[in-house]
Structure formats: C-alpha cells, structure tokens
Amino acid sequence: MARPPRPSGNLPAEATSFVGRRHELADVRRKLTEARLVSLVGPGGVGKTRLAIRMAADLGRGFPDGAWLVELAEVRDPARVGDAVLTTLDLRDQAATEPLARLLSYLRDKKLLLVVDNCEHLVEAAARLVTEVLKAAPGVRVMVTSREPLSAPGEHVVPVPPLELPVPHTALARLRQNEAVALFVERAAAGSGAFELTAANQAAVVDLCRRLDGLPLAIELAAVRTRVLTAGQILDRLTDRFGLLVGGGRAALPRHQTLRTTIDWSHDLLAAGEQRLLRRLCVFAGRFTLEDIEYVCDSADALDLLSSLVDKSLVTKEDAGDLACYRLHETMREYAVLKLRAAGEQEAVERRFADYYRTRCQRSTAEARFQLVEWLDWMNLEIDNVRSVLRRSLDQEDFSGGTALAVSLGWYWMTRATNEGIRWLDELIASGGGDAQGHFMRGFLAVLQSDPVTAGTALEKAVAAAREPSLLSQSLALASMAANMAGDRASAKRLLGEARAACDDLPATLMSLQAQSLNGLFDGDLDSVRSASSQGVRISREIGDLYSLDMMLFNHGSAMLMAGDLGESKPLFTEALRIAQRIDDRVAQYCLLDALGCHAAGSGEARLAARLLGAAETVRTGAGADILPFLLPLVTRAEQSAAAELGPSRFESEFESGKHLSRAAAIRLALGESPQVPASASADVAPLGKREAEVARLVADGLSNKQIGARLFISEHTVDSHVRHILNKLGFKSRTQIAAWMASSERPKTTPGS
C-alpha cells in the first residue's frame, strides 16, 4: 500500500522575486551532494537567508521528509536552540524526555533537510546541536546561515558575497542581466509601480549599485525611495553621505559601513514620529501586533507610522491566521537598538515592554481556562516576547515577579512546552522566587510528566506556603495524585480527604474530582472513576473549561472501556478528541487515539485498530511522552487482538501505515470523518475571515465590544475595527443585522425529506 504523502516542510513562500545568485546556487548544490553540513557565511544584509530558502525549495523534493527552516534570530538563550528545532518540526515539549534526546530519536530514521538560519549569536550552541544531529541521523543534511562559520566537524563553508557589480558604460540590454541592477529595478518597479531602466537613468543606477557594494538589503532600501526620488537624486544624496565618511574622496568604505550608512540615510529621511517608532520596536523579541505597538511604543498614531515603515521596507509584515503581525529584520533590529540607546530611551521602553506583558498575562490568568483556544492562539503569537520578559526578570533579580509571570503561563506550559516551563520555574525558584503559586505550578507540571518524586516535594512546599483555601485544596489534590503514582495509596486517600475539607470552590472541586478519577483508574476502582468524572464533565461543560472537560471525558470513557461498555465509551472519547484537537494538546491526542484504537479492537475493527494504535505511537513520540500505566494493558490487549485477527504481517503493515499518517489525518480517521480535510467552521460565514467570524458570533450573542475584547484577548479598539469591517463587508448598518445574518448563516441546513 502506498504511503500517504508526507508534509513537505515549512519553507515560507517568497513574497518577492528571487534575483540572481546562479553561481552560489550551483556551489551550494554541489557542496550538499558532497557534505552533510554546509554553512552559508557572509555579513548581515548580504542575502544569506533568501539564498538558503531558495536552495532548500529547489532541493526539497529530494528529501522524503521535507525541508524545514529553523529561525534562530529571535532565540536569545543558547539552551533553547534544541527547543526551536523541536517547534519547527511540530514536536512538543510536554513530557519528561530531554529535548535533545527526543529530537535525535525523532530524526534517527528521517531523510530531511534542516535550514538553521541566523546562527551568529548562538554559534557554539548551534554547532553542538548540529554535530549531535549529524551523528545520530544519517539521512539528515543541514544548511546553516551565519556571519561566521560554526567550526563543526565536517562543515563546508560557502562564502556569500554581495551581488555581482555592474560595469559602467555597459550596453543597456546586457546591463539588465546584471544581478545588482536587476534587483534594484525589480524592487523599484514594485515600490513605485512605474520604474524602468532606461538610457537616461542607467548611469545613475549603475553608480548606485556600485556605491552600495551590491549588498541586497542596501539596494532594496534605496530602491523603495524611487516612489519620491529619481535614481539620480538617490545617488546624489547617498554620495554626499558617503563623502562625509571618507573625507570627500573616492576611497571605498568597508561593506559593513556601506550598509550602516545606507540604513542611516534611509532612517534620516523618516519623519520624527517614524524614527521614534522604529527605534522603539527593537524591544520586541519576536512578532508584534498593532495593539502591542500602541502601548509599548506609546504611539497614538501607530497605524499610520507603522504603515509607512512597512512601505519603506524597514518593517516586515506577515500574517498569523487572520491577524496581521510584524517583525524587524535582524540587521534593522541591531540598528534600532543603537538608536534607542542614543536617544536615552532604552530603560524606559524596556520597562514599559515588560510591564505590558506582565500585566496582560497576569490579568488573563483567571479567564484563560474559560477561553483557552483564544488565549493559546494569543500566547503562540507572543511567546517570544514573554520569554524576553522572563529573562529580564532573572537578569534584574526580580524573582518573585518572574515567578508570577511564569505561573500565569500555566496553560501554555501544560499544553505546549512543559519542559520549558519547568526550566523557568526551577531557575526562578532556586534564585529565591519560590512562593505557594510557584511551587504549585512546579508540582502540577511534574504530575503531568508522571514524576511523583519532584511533584511530591514541590506540592509539600505549596501546601506549607498556601494562604488561600482554593490553592491549598488544589495543592493537596495534586499531592494525592503524586502519592498514588508513587504507590502510596494510604497517603493518596488522606490527602484527597484533606483537599475536599479545605475548599469547595469550582477550581478546587474540579481538581479533587480529577484526583479521584485518576486515583481510581490507577487502582481499578471504576465506580469511583465514573462518579467523579461524570460530575467533572457536567461542571466543566457548564463553566466552559475545555482543559478539564477533555480530561474528565477521557477519564469517564476509560472507565467505560475498562468495564467493557464500548457503546458508552466511544462518544466520550470522540468528544474529548475534538477538544484535544482544538486546544492542540498532543499528550491528550495520543491518549485518545490509543483509547479509540482499543475501542476499535474490542469492536472487531482490527484494521482500524492497528492504524489508530500506530498513529498514537507517532503522536506520543512527537510529544516525548510515555504511555500511561493504566492504558498500557489495554493497548497491549488491543494489539494482540488486532494481530490475531489480521495476522502478524498484515497487522504490522497497517500499524506502520498508521504511524505515517499526519496527525490531522489520524484524528479524522479516529472520528470517522472522510479523508478529505473537513470544511472549516467558518465556511458558513464567508466572506468573513476567521477572527471576523468569531467577533460576529459574539456580537450575535449580545456582547459589547469591551466584553468581546476580554473574551478574545484583544483591545476594544481592535474589536471596533473588526465590527466596522464586518458591517462594510456585509453591507449592513447595525449590530442587529449582524446578529440576524449570523443566525441565518449558522442555522442547521436541511435536506429534502429530512
């Protein structure tokens, strides 16, 4: 049976045309046939990243497991280089396995190309990781971009020079074939809409490209100015600037000075407000939104200023779903840092940046569990900025503030990056930031990783320090789970009793019910599991707590499965799997794929069982998780049953087919959906985008703009903008019309005879 096509990787689409580099492309292609590690080395702004992406796109078809771009520009901590590769490969950091070990295990039998971009500030860490990968995974090849070589074993270095310079007095037809000139003309035409290379301007264009040393970034910054200046005017202004640096002579500047001078010139053409915004943007460690800019950069007219910076190629725009976000090119970020320092604003803007993210994260903590999908979407976008604030807390010895911030990210650590959360908490607590909340979250993450020893120690400290009844109760309930994992049934029972006596608010009640359910699954007390999980399902559904609902449905379904009640267990598992897919919790997904595989085996669907069990193994490995102890005997029996029905050879074939399914395909298979990708939830509300559809639904529910902003973690101003766009798109004049249209669009469709 042919394998389904594998994903081709994550290479970004090229937003602008790729110009030139024929010799470098041929050189890199040749080197990658001879060596497994090729480093593209050159100064900032010379075009290393574009060259690497183009080369990877050309070669990607030769790698069955795809070509993958690992971006390190926004990674500041050497310890996170491995995490960045895991994230790129869509692997998770949820279980106790060390990230490097999980990465090497995953790559061992893969045939793929890794493009590790912007390594210069992490050379040693990148070299160590690449060396380990190449030793462990013979089918992997690595292409690196850096301002200096990695000096790793087996490295082949390809210098990336500036573009070929034009020769003066060259015929016009031949000049158009020159790489530097072609880039200038292409970008000028894109920017101005009407630029052409002619006999009248060719001398100015040639001199410009030569003056700019063929550096692509410098050429692009100059070309965009053809909207308001001729090529000759741009040349005159740049020549004056260069002349000041070399005393009016014709001596050549070093290439790094050429780029700096070009950026200086482009910066000096900006209005004062644009200059101010550009330098302040450097505090963002990752992507940022208009809303972020408005507060952090203290800019009331941020939209107009930002639009101008994007138009001038000083800021890059990209889309995250339906939300526009922005970033600075690394060279531009370095320049902006210097300008921020020179303006004497660095400390004030960095403090405002840190305050903004601390406030947003901590204010959203209480509501995040009830709006988990939206909160996780927001955190996925902002996590690099939040990491920067965590590092600042450690550097400035604000350990209690850092711990509070780390605790507020609990849902992100639980569903996305458990090991990373543990590293931050361990460092903060060891530095003196240990409080009841910090110890509680550390214990929670240890329970998720089935580490009862660490969990018990952390939760004992949380219990001792807790002053709030709900936190005390939740800490005791978690300690009960840890004790049960360690085999101490008596302590588990005692701690659960103390938890119930301490508090009975909703969070405490749900934690106690989870402890009762999990302890019952470990002990085989199915009546206790059914009683607790059914209550948990009801409560979590009523309050909109998806994380708890997912767990409670799984607990209840597991009890039914273990009792042999297949009919009752399947709808519980399928609902839980849909939730796990929505919140993208990979550990929950593997558990539910395994559970539905066991259900299929018990229902006589051996082929389906084999595929789901194979798919579950792949998802579990990707999350670095170990199979849950109470699931292990069920999975073993399911494998034996399916193998007996299919025969060992066919079972192995179907199991392998399941292992090679994408997660999305595996989930569709488990849910009984067609192999085609299902229509999106917003299909019925075209022509609205995803975010607009969400806003429209909440308008239809009667929420105000302020309430919608709180629900979706966006500003009231942003909601107002979305509402206006919805009204314009639909040709409406009132929110009442939106509500009526939504009711009509989302009404269940009927078919003839229904």
DSSP code at position 431: I
CA angle 431, 437, 438 (to 5 degrees): 30
pLDDT tens-digit map of 306-362: 999 988 888 988 888 778 899 888 888 888 999 999 999 999 999 999 999 999 999
Closest by CA to 436, choosing from 479, 405, 407, is 407
Which of these, 428, 510, 508, lies nearest to 476 by C-alpha position? Answer: 508
Q: Using 50, 70 and 90 to split pLDDT, how confident is the model at 642?
A: very high
Percentage of the residues of the chain whose pLDDT score is greater than 90: 59
Q: Which of the four pLDDT bands, split at 50, 70 and 90, describes residue 239? A: confident
Mean pLDDT lowest among 532-541, 617-626, 741-750:
741-750
pLDDT at residue 508, as a whole number = 96
Q: Are strands 316-320 and 323-327 parallel, antiparallel or unpaired?
A: antiparallel
Q: What is the pLDDT of residues 487-503, one digit of tens each?
A: 999 999 999 999 999 99
Confidence of residue 190 (pLDDT cuts 50, 70, 90): confident
Stretch (H or E) spanning 40: strand 37-41
pLDDT, mean over the chain: 88
Report whether 212 contacts 258 (CB < 8 A): yes
Say whether pLDDT at 252 is over 50: no
At 490 the pLDDT is: 95
Q: What is the DSSP string of 675-728?
A: SSPPPPTTGGGTTS-HHHHHHHHHHHTT--HHHHHHHHT--HHHHHHHHHHHHH
Chain centre to alpha carbon of residue 247: 49
The token pair at 414 is 């639980």
Q: Is the pLDDT of residue 250 over 50?
A: no
Query: Percent of the chain having pLDDT more than 70?
Result: 93
State the Cα torsion 177-181-186-188 to the nearest 10°.
-160
Q: Which two tokens stand for residue 371?
A: 């709006």
Q: What is the mean predicted confidence (pLDDT) over 683-699?
A: 72
Q: Are 191 and 226 in contact (CB under 8 A)?
A: yes
For the cut 80, the answer to whether the pLDDT of residue 397 exceeds it is yes
CA distance 580 to 475: 25
For residues 374 and 412, is the Cβ–Cβ distance under 8 A? Answer: no
Strands (E), 485-525: none
